[in-house]
Amino acid sequence: MTGTVDIRVSTADAVPSRASRRSVTGTARRILFRLANAVGVLWAAATVTFFIQAVLPGDRATLILNQETGRAVKRTAAEVAPINRRFGFDDSLFAQYLHYIGGLTHGDLGTSYQLKQPVTTLIADQVGPTLLLTVTALVLAWAIALVLTIATAKRGRIRSALGSGFEVVAAGLPQYWLGVILLVVFAINLGWFPVEGGTGLSGLVLPALTLAIPLAGFLGQVTRDEFEKVLDQPFITSARARGMSDLDVRTKHALRHAVLPAITLSGWALGALFSGAVVAELVFARPGLGQVLVGAASARDIPLVSGVVMLVAGVYVVANLLVDLAYGIVDPRLKDGAS
């Protein structure tokens, strides 16, 4: 992550004696810099999305007409003209690009080819359950990763091997497959959870686990590495020498250091969870963006798919920004510039 490097560079020049005054302007400058960077990445992401759309082989108006009628035929100029006018395909590429970026600045993601509704409305209708699933999964993944690290890291060979073995396997499991296994075992055979479309709390458990277990494996691997390094530090020995219990040493001292690398990954994790949610929603027949997205992709509804992709890129950028800014709070060494 370049973000962490930037923070170190911008705060390292603060002289400790004048730290109080300079760190305020330093912080403001840092936040401004990060904000500008985030806007830049978003703009570039929008540009990439636009040009992927623009390279579409063949005529977009024909694609839309054929979608409406369910046939694949060549269209005459007279048929194509009104569609071209409506979606602005007659304009130059540059004009279309300006229109697209301009629309984005006030939350207009275009009109769905298939459903003929604004993409923003379609997303807003469906985003709720997906957001709930994503956030639940993130919390659950952190809980699993932390418990696993505290319980197994550096606790003798066999226990450590079991813990890290679980993490390796979990991190490599494809979400669809884990979802199917959970569905078959816990919903179909044991009947503990609804088989499909459960919208209540009981319907949330299996999809959230489907997303959380692989992520927990990943976060756990990163945290464990750091945790084991920290446990060898002198301040840990000194805490133990003061008579602190092993559990306290682990939770109060070591954990605080060990979670840092994994926290920087949370922005990435949110993006990954969002795309994982598409799979989980399909396995468990849950309402949400996933169903919309897969339907739109197979119907080749470009504005809808790129709208969702832009939304997720936005979530990623904002989450990374927050993580960068929050880093100073979790790790005061960076804020004071005295490392």
Partner 1 sequence: MSTVQPALSPGGLPGSRAVAAVAWERLRALRPGLTLAALALLFILVAAIAPSLLTSRSPTSIDLGATLQAPSAHHIFGTDQAGRDLYARVIHGTRQSLLIGLGATALSMSVAISLGFLAGLSGRFVDGAINRLLEVVFAFPVLLLALLFVTVFGASATTQIVAVGIGTAPGYARMVRGQVLAVRGSGYVEAASALGHSYPRIIRRHIFPNAMRPLVVVVTLGLGQSIVWASSLAFLGLGVAPPAPEWGALLDAGRGYVTKAWWLEVVPGLTIVAFALAVTTLGRYAQQRLEGANQR
CA 181/CA 123 separation, integer angstroms: 29
The CB-of-194 to partner 1 minimum distance in angstroms stands at 12
What is the DSSP code (8-state) at residue 252?
A: I
Q: Is there binding between residue 174 and partner 1 (CB under 8 A)?
A: yes
- Out of 53, 66, 120, 221, the residue judged to bind partner 1 by CB under 8 A: 53
CA angle 5, 9, 13 (to 5 degrees): 160
CA 208/CA 129 separation, integer angstroms: 11
- Out of 11, 49, 130, 152, the residue judged to bind partner 1 by CB under 8 A: 49
Residue identified by tokens 């060979």 is 157
CB-nearer residue toward partner 1: 259 or 277? 277
CB-nearer residue toward partner 1: 47 or 121? 47
- Out of 135, 169, 326, 338, the residue judged to bind partner 1 by CB under 8 A: 169
The helices-and-strands tally (H runs, E runs) of the chain is 16, 0
- Out of 308, 321, 323, 334, the residue judged to bind partner 1 by CB under 8 A: 308
Task: Please count the other Cβ atoms lying within 10 Å of the Cβ belonging to residue 111.
Answer: 18
- Out of 39, 52, 93, 147, the residue judged to bind partner 1 by CB under 8 A: 52
- Contacts with partner 1 by CB under 8 A: the residue count is 65
Q: Which long-range contacts (CB under 8 A, 24 or more apart) does 328-331 make?
A: 328/7, 328/27, 330/256, 330/259, 330/260, 330/263, 331/260
Task: Tell me the residue type at 59.
Answer: D
Using CB under 8 A, which residues numbered 125 to 154 contact partner 1?
Answer: 154
Residues that bind partner 1 (CB under 8 A): 2, 40-42, 44-45, 48-49, 52-53, 55-57, 154-158, 160, 168-169, 172-177, 180-181, 183-184, 188, 195, 231-232, 236-237, 240, 246, 268, 271-272, 274-276, 278-279, 282-283, 293-294, 296-298, 300-302, 305-306, 308-309, 312-313, 316-317
